Chain A
Amino acid sequence: MQKILVIFKKQLRDTFKNKTILIQFVMFPVLTLIMENCIKINDMPENFFTKLFAVMYIGMAPLTSAAAIIAEEKEKNTLRVLMHANVRPWQYLIGTGAYIWTICMIGAAVMSTGLPSEERLFFLPVMAIGFVISIIAGACIGIFSKNQMMATSVVMPVMMILSFVPMLAMFNDIIKKGAVVFYTQQLRNIFDEMSWSAIGTKSIVIICANALVFAVLFAVLYRKKGLE
C-alpha cells in the first residue's frame, strides 16, 4: 500500500508540471462550465453539453494520460529504476491508475456542478465506471508502446473512436448503429436517461463486454511485454 501511495503522490506532484496531461484533465470540465453557462439555444436538451462532454472526457482524458504516463516512464527508463527499488509492476499500475481516476473524478465533479443533486449522484458513479474502463484501455496502449511517440500514434485513433463516435452518432444513424458496440456510446445513452431504472440490460452487457475485452487484452499484453 505504501508504494502505491508513493506512485500516486509522485504522479500528483507531476500534475502541474506535465502540461500536456494537465490539459487533458482540465479541458472538458472547463469547456462544460463555459458552454453550459454561455450557450442557451431554444429546444436544446437540458444539460446537453455536460452529457456530451462527459462521454468525450471518458474517451479521452484517462485513455491518453494512462498511455502517455506509462510510455514516458518506459522510454525514460524511470520505470526500470522504480522496479529496482522494489516497486512491483502491479503497485505501479494501481498507483498510476488510482491517480488518473481521482483526477478525472475531480474533473467529473466539476462538470456535474450544473446538474441537479439527484442526477449528480447518478452521473458520478457512471463516470467512475467509464474512467476505469478507459484507464485499462490506456494502460494496454502504454504497455504495448515502446515510447511516447508510438503511444500517441496508437492512442489517437482509439481516442477518436471512443470519444467522437458517440457525438457523431447523434447526427448519423449509420454511425449510431456501429457505435452501439462501444462502451462510450452506451454511457452516452445512459446519460440521456439519467436514471438507474432506465439502464437496459443491453447497455450493461456491452459495457461489461468492453471492460472484459480490455482487461483480457491488458492481461495478455502484460504477460507478454511486462513493464519493461
Chain B
Amino acid sequence: MINCKEVSKSFGEHKVLDKVSFDVPEGVIVGLLGPSGAGKTTLINILTGQLTFDAGEVSVMNKDVNKLKGADKDKFGIMMDRFGLYERFTCAENLAVFADVYGINKSNIKESLASVGLEDAAKTKAADLSKGMRARLLLARALLHDPKIIFLDEPTSGLDPKSVKGIHEIIQNKKKEGCTIFLTTHNMDEATKLCDDVMLLNEGNIVERGRPSDLCRKYNKDKKIKVTMKDGSDGEYKQNADAADKIAELIRQGSLETIHSEEPTLETIFLELTGKKLEED
C-alpha cells in the first residue's frame, strides 16, 4: 500500500530523513514512533504528497506519490494536530464544507459525528469544543469520505484518557473495515495497543521495526519474572531452574499474590537503541 525506498529530506543543512526505507501492507495499523523532531511529521507530509523529498522513491497505492491525481488523493484521510477547524461553524457545518468538497451526501455528516461520539455536539460551535472533542471532530473530518488510507499525526497528543480510548476505538474500527492506517506517535502505550507494526525513528533513521510484542520479546535479554506477595512485598527473579523452584515454593505456601514476566516496553527499547526517551518528561 505504501512503499518508501531510501527517502532523504533535508531542510537547509539539517538532514531530517536519511535513506528511510519501509513498506506498509494493506489493512494494517503501522506506527511511526520517535521523539519530537525525529522526522515523523516530515515523513507523513512526504507520504501524503504535501512535501517534496530530495532523494529516493515513494509510492502509495502502487503510484508514484508525485504523480498522484485528485481522485487518488481522495482515498487519503489525513488528520494532523496542527490542522484547524472553522471556529465560527458548528461541528455539522464544519463537516458540511468537506461533504460538499468531496461531493458526498449530507446524511453522512450525522453518521460521521455519531461515529466519533459527537452527535450531541452537532450544533456546537467548533470554538466551544474541548480539546478532546476537537480531536474527534478532526478525526471525523478525516474519515468523512471513507478513505482507504488514513494518516494520523499524533492523533491523541495531549488528550485525556477517555478521549484517547474513544479515538483508539475509532481507529481499530477503521482497521476492521479494511483501512490501512499510518500513525505517528511518541506514546509507547498507544503504539503497543494499536499497532500491528511499529517503526522506531531516530534522527531521520529507522532504527528498529517489528510487531510490538516481537520487539519486546527480542529485547527481553534479562528475562526477569516479577512476583508480588500477599503481604505487599515483591521480588524479582531471573528465569532459571532456581527461580522456578522458589516461585513454586511460594505458590505452595499460598503467599503469592501476582506473577508476571518483566518484558521491556517500547520506551525502554528505544532508550536502549538511541539513548533517548520517546516521551519528554
B-side interface size class: 20 to 34
Residue in contact with A81 in the complex, picked from B74, B84, B93, B102, CB distance below 8 Å: B84
A77 and B84: CB pair below 8 A?
Answer: yes
State whether the Cβ of B219 lies closer than 8 Å to any Cβ in chain A: no
Q: How many residues of A contact B (CB 8 A)?
A: 19
Residues of chain A within 8 A (CB-CB) of B101 are: 3, 6, 82, 85-87
Residues of chain A within 8 A (CB-CB) of B48 are: 84
Listed residue (A9, A78, A85) with the most chain B CB atoms within 10 angstroms of its CB? A85
Given the interface contacts A82-B101, A86-B73, does A76 sit within 8 Å of B87 by beta carbon? Answer: yes
Residue in contact with A14 in the complex, picked from B70, B82, B88, B98, CB distance below 8 Å: B88
B87 and A13: CB pair below 8 A?
Answer: no
Q: Closest B-chain residue to A9, C-beta based?
A: B100
Given the interface contacts A84-B78, A85-B101, A86-B73, does A18 sit within 8 Å of B88 by beta carbon? Answer: yes
State whether the Cβ of B11 lies closer than 8 Å to any Cβ in chain A: no
B70 and A76: CB pair below 8 A?
Answer: no
A50-107 CB contacts (< 8 Å) to partner B? 76-78, 80-82, 84-87
A10 and B97: CB pair below 8 A?
Answer: yes
State whether the Cβ of A2 lies closer than 8 Å to any Cβ in chain B: yes
Given the interface contacts A6-B97, A10-B97, A13-B93, does A85 sit within 8 Å of B102 by beta carbon? Answer: yes
Q: Closest A-chain residue to B86, C-beta based?
A: A78
B83 and A14: CB pair below 8 A?
Answer: no
State whether the Cβ of B103 lies closer than 8 Å to any Cβ in chain A: yes
Given the interface contacts A14-B86, A18-B88, does A86 sit within 8 Å of B141 by beta carbon? Answer: no
User: What are the 4 tightest A-B residue pairs by CB atom distance, in nearest-first order?
Assistant: A76-B84, A77-B84, A17-B88, A6-B100
Residues of chain B whose beta carbon lies under 8 Å from any beta carbon of chain A: 48, 50, 70, 73-74, 76, 78, 82-89, 93, 97-98, 100-103, 141
